[in-house]
Structure 1
Amino acid sequence: MLLKKIAQYMSTTSGFTIKTAPFTKQDWIAVSQIYKEGIATGIATFETQIPTWNDWNALHIKTCRIKAVNDNTIIGWTALSPTSKRNTYKGVAEISIYISTKHRNLGIGKILLEKLINESEKAGFWSLQASIFSDNKASIALHKSLGFREIGYREKIGKLNNIWYDNTILERRSEIII
């Protein structure tokens, strides 16, 4: 029974074992450092500073917060945030996914996103959305590899360091929740 509640997932990729599990406030230091690395890329988020745990926590759905762990080190994470406060959209969420700099392009993003898709459907989400910098080709390819389809883009949606950026919009509709 306890093992079902923990709901950990293990996968081997690129010669090492990845364990996925929910993350909590106690993981915030490691999670926020990976977020900081994403901020530094300039094509992962319009954020320029790491939020506090309380600020981040208030904006993200309490379920479906998943970390990827190798050798007791968090190497990536993913989470959902609501797209609307309206009840009719309660099954629609936006994805955030970040992988540590040292562990990119090793398949960890795919492991995390697959787990997030499964957990989101268990939690009743029927549609996942991703708004990705159009220059972030790796993230767009990752999402498309797991059934997301491009539904459009937002031209010059925001400025970062005084440069306008476009976002590519992708969505994945659950085949389980109809």
Structure 2
Amino acid sequence: MSDRTGTRADVVVRPMDAADADEVLAIYQAGLDGGDASFEVTAPAWPDFDRTRLAGHRYVAADTVTGRVLGWIAASPVSRRHVYRGVVENSLYVHPDAQGRGVGRVLLDTFIRSTEAAEIWTIQSGIFPENADSLRLHERAGFRVVGTRERIGRHHGRWRDVVLIERRSPAVS
């Protein structure tokens, strides 16, 4: 199997590994600094990031010319309970300079294929309603809005809502 799983000529999507740590965490921090990506305010150290993401469902999108990481996607388990073994939560971050170039979509498409091959039947995510680009991207990839969790947490001193979305795989029954 080729590492090239993306569908853009200028971007290669490949499994994330420890050599990507600095770029992945810098992109993560840039997203956090933007204020509408997560309740988190500081990207974790690599060992914590590595420990909390499923190894089989972590990808980076890299520029085919420079090799620079443009974005990443990863899965975290929703629960350790056996009944939820086919449910994951995704995180998707694109470098600010690469946004609007289709990097998020190629990452999400690769991720969906990966999870379906592993018989994961539901991908879910919580997105701030202000992050309209991420909501649109996920909707175009087959996610639906489950509902809004109002005032679910405080972020930078104010209450924030989170839109809960999910994608049920039509390929995994």
TM bin, normalised by shorter chain, reads over 0.9
- The answer to whether the 8 A contact 1:10-1:17 is kept is no
Residue pairs, 1:165-176, within 5 angstroms: 165-176=160-171
Cα deviation per residue 1:23-80 (whole Å; 9 max; x = unaligned)? 1111110000000110011010111111011111121111110000002000000000
- SS of structure 2 residue aligned to 1:9: coil
Structure 2 letter corresponding to 1:19: V
Cα deviation per residue 1:66-105 (whole Å; 9 max; x = unaligned)? 0000020000000000100101100100010000000101
Give 2:107's match in structure 1, choosing from 106, 109, 112.
112
Residue pairs, 1:60-71, within 5 angstroms: 60-70=53-63, 71=66
The count of corresponding residues between Structure 1 and Structure 2 is 171
Q: Quick one: distance in 1 between partners of 2:84 and 2:7? A: 32
Q: Percent identity?
A: 33
**Residue number in structure 2 paired with 1:29:** 22
- SS of structure 1 residue aligned to 2:100: coil
Residue pairs, 1:39-54, within 5 angstroms: 39-54=32-47
**Residue number in structure 2 paired with 1:101:** 96
Structure 2 letter corresponding to 1:162: G
- The answer to whether the 8 A contact 1:77-1:112 is kept is yes
Give 1:11's match in structure 2, choosing from 7, 22, 38.
7
Q: Quick one: distance in 1 between partners of 2:34 and 2:139? A: 21
- SS of structure 1 residue aligned to 2:160: strand
Q: Quick one: distance in 1 between partners of 2:102 and 2:68? A: 16
Q: CA deviation at 1:11?
A: 2.9
Q: CA deviation at 1:7?
A: 3.4
- The answer to whether the 8 A contact 2:6-2:106 is kept is no
TM-score (norm 2): 0.95
Q: Provide runs of 4+ in structure 1 moved above 6 Å.
A: none
Structure 2 letter corresponding to 1:78: I
Q: Quick one: distance in 1 between partners of 2:37 and 2:162? A: 10
Structure 1 letter corresponding to 2:60: K
Q: Quick one: distance in 2 between partners of 1:175 and 1:57? A: 29
Is 1:137 equivalent to 2:132 in the alignment? Answer: yes
- SS of structure 2 residue aligned to 1:63: helix
TM-score (norm 1): 0.93
Q: Quick one: distance in 2 between partners of 1:10 and 1:66? A: 10
